[in-house]
Every structure is written in C-alpha cells, then in structure tokens.
C-alpha cells in the first residue's frame, strides 16, 4: 500500500483545520457561554407533533428551538438584529440543516421576534446560565 508524503499529509491536515476554523467564524464559547451571530429560520405546522431529536414532540406553540450542538435543555436568548426584539427558547432538537443558518425556531418564538413574514433573519444567539 503506497504511503503519502508527510508534506501532503500535513497539507491535508492544515486544510481541514482551516475549514473547521472558517466554519466556526461568528461563534465563541468562553466563560460567558456560547454566543454566535448568523441567520435564524423557523419551522411550524408541518413538523407539529413529530418527535424531536430529544425525544419530545415538537410543539409549534412552545418557545423551543433546534441547534446543531448545544445540549438539550439549554436556554438561549435569540435577538433579531433587524428590530432588536428578543426571546428566550429552550433547545430540544437538532438542526438547522440549511447552510448558513445557526438556529431553527418554533413558530411561537418566530412570532415574538416578528420574523414570520421574512422567514429568515439575522440573529444573535446567547446561551444563558442554568
């Protein structure tokens, strides 16, 4: 079995690390917790009643959200950067799976952020202390 040269292996590792760092741009985890800016969307009627990744049923009328990595049960403040309205939601699902989005909100949370008409808005997501 042929082996690749150390330069090629190191180049692949550096490329992978660079891609990882670029993918994490705009988010941080420090002593204050998770904080990120990006785009939010919402999901509602079509998913209402279906099981979430946490095992509970999705309720479009609850203040919940999907996030790729925050632990289930985490509470986060989501602020619509267009109008400065904010809402606190509980993470109970995984997602979003659309590129460029950092959180999927329930319809109720989207209503409170006044984003139903737009569908996708720029937001700041800040994890709250337990």
Tell me whether residue 20 is in a domain. no
Q: If the chain, 130 residues long, is cut into consecutive pieces of 10 residues, what is the mean pLDDT of each piece?
A: 51 44 45 87 89 95 97 98 98 94 97 97 95
pLDDT for the residue 46: 86
CATH of the domain at 66: 2.40.40.10
| Inter-CA distances, 106 with 5, 10, 14, 17, Å | 50, 43, 38, 33
DSSP 123: E
Q: Is residue 51 part of a domain?
A: yes
Is 8 inside a domain boundary?
A: no
Q: Does residue 36 form part of some domain?
A: yes
pTM over 0.85: no
| Residue 9 resides in a domain | no
**pLDDT value of position 130:** 74
Question: Would residue 61 count as lying in a domain?
Answer: yes
Residue 13 resides in a domain: no
pLDDT, position 4:
53
Report the pLDDT value the prediction gives residue 27, as an integer from 0 to 100.
52
- What total number of domains does the chain contain? 1
């Amino acid at each position: 079995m042929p082996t690749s040269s150390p330069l090629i292996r190191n180049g692949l590792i550096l490329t992978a690390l660079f891609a990882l760092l670029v993918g994490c741009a705009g988010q941080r985890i420090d002593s204050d917790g998770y904080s990120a800016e990006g785009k939010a969307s919402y999901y509602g009627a079509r998913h209402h009643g279906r099981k979430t990744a946490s095992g509970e049923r999705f309720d479009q009328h609850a203040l919940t959200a999907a996030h790729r990595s925050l632990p289930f049960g985490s509470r986060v403040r989501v602020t619509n950067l267009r109008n400065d309205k904010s809402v606190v939601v509980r993470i109970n699902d995984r997602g979003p799976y659309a590129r460029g989005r950092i959180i999927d909100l329930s319809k109720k949370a989207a209503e409170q952020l006044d984003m139903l008409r737009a569908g996708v808005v720029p937001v700041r997501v800040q994890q709250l202390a337990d």
